[in-house]
């Protein structure tokens, strides 16, 4: 089977050492297996993306020694594919329109549970039958999705492989999906399709076989797995790797410009130095 890896950054800031680790790990794997490394620009959220950050992604990755087939898939060019998937879920009766603002959700959630998609939605609009129109968000009705897939017993048989430490198989848990993820957002009123839906549609369209990304997305993979089941899409193999932390042990964020690849570049570091910094080669 062809081995196809992807690195899928969002151009909302400069790439930092954590991104370098992900991209290099995926790249090395593709090289070792004679596979393909793809770059995808996840620029769905037009409220946060900036063209200079996209250009910086190309520059920094080239500098690191990576290359990829062009043109790259940019999510902003791919809206019809996401709409198609959304319509399909809608036609199965699994979605609903939601007009709640964040503050309405907060007020209705005295003891909020935070899952991979933020605060678990308390279901305010679930039975309102709001039309899926432009000024509403669209949510997945998780309980109906589980029913559609044959009920909790069937959903609990769905799994994905994480090859970070060996080859562990992780099973979904219907109760956990309901309690910790709930009715996730599939499309937002301001940006159109949300991350989870776009990512599974793109991974399938690009025939990705292996997804290398940080441990911080491990819980999100459960959402991706159920969306793959609902949309009858294949499930790639995942590698949720360790995170690169700052000196205080915190995960790097895009605002950590102090760890930006381009900062090290301008200070005279070499790509080899970056590999050392992220622990891919011994110092």
What residues make contact with ligand GLU under the rule CB under 6 A? Answer: 8-10, 42, 199, 213, 217
Please name every residue paired with 169 in a beta bridge, in sequence order, or none if there are none.
161
Residue 155 to residue 174: CA distance in whole angstroms: 6
Instruction: Name the residue nearer to ligand GLU (CB basis): 61 or 199.
Output: 199
Please name the residues in contact with 252: beta carbons below 8 A apart, sequence gap of 6 or more: 16, 17, 18, 243, 244, 245, 246, 259
Q: How far is the CB of 8 from ligand GLU (least distance, A)?
A: 5
Report the nearest approach of ligand GLU to the CB of residue 115 (Å): 16
CA nearest neighbour of 117 among 179, 165, 174, 57: 179
Is 10 or 136 the residue whose CB approaches ligand GLU more closely? 10
Task: Work out how close the CB of 202 gets to ligand GLU at its nearest, in angstroms, rounded to a whole number.
Answer: 9
- Tell me, letter by letter, the H, E, C secondary structure of 173-210: CHHHHHHHHCCCEEEECCCEECHHHHHHHHHHHCCCCE
Token pair, residue 118, equals: 């933020």
State the nearest-atom distance from the C-beta of 44 to ligand GLU, in Å.
9
H helix intervals, the chain: 17-33, 51-64, 79-91, 102-107, 142-148, 152-155, 174-176, 195-205, 218-230, 261-266, 271-277
Taking the least distance from each CB to ligand GLU, the nearer of 53 and 96 is 53
C-beta of 217: minimal distance to ligand GLU in Å? 6
In the bound state with ligand GLU, the residue whose beta carbon lies nearer, of 26 and 146, is 26
Q: Whose Cβ is closer to ligand GLU: residue 6's or residue 126's?
A: 6
């Amino acid at each position: 089977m062809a081995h196809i890896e992807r690195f899928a950054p969002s151009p909302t800031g400069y790439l930092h050492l954590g991104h370098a680790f992900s991209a290099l790990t995926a790249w090395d794997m593709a090289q070792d297996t004679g596979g393909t490394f793809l770059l995808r620009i996840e620029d769905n959220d037009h409220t946060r993306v900036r063209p200079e950050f996209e250009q910086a992604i190309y520059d920094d990755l080239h500098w690191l020694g990576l290359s990829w087939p062009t043109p790259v898939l940019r999510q902003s060019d791919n809206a019809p594919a996401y709409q198609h998937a959304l319509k399909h879920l809608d036609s199965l009766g699994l979605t609903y329109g939601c007009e709640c603002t964040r503050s309405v959700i907060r007020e209705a959630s005295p003891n909020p549970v935070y899952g991979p998609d933020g605060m678990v939605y308390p279901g305010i609009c679930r039975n309102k039958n709001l039309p899926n129109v432009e000024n509403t968000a669209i949510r997945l009705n998780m309980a109906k999705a589980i029913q559609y897939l044959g009920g909790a017993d069937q959903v609990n048989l769905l799994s994905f492989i994480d090859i970070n430490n060996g080859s562990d198989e992780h099973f979904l848990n219907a109760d956990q999906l309901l309690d910790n993820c709930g009715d996730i957002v599939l499309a937002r009123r301001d940006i159109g399709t949300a991350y989870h839906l776009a990512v599974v549609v793109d991974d399938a369209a690009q025939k990705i076989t292996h997804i290398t990304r940080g441990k911080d997305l491990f819980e999100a993979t459960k959402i991706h797995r159920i969306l793959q089941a609902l949309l009858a899409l294949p499930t790639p193999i995942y590698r949720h790797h360790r995170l690169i932390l700052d000196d205080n042990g915190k995960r790097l964020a895009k605002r950590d410009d102090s760890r930006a690849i381009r900062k090290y570049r301008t200070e005279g570091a070499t790509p080899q130095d970056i590999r050392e910094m992220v622990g891919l080669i011994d110092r």
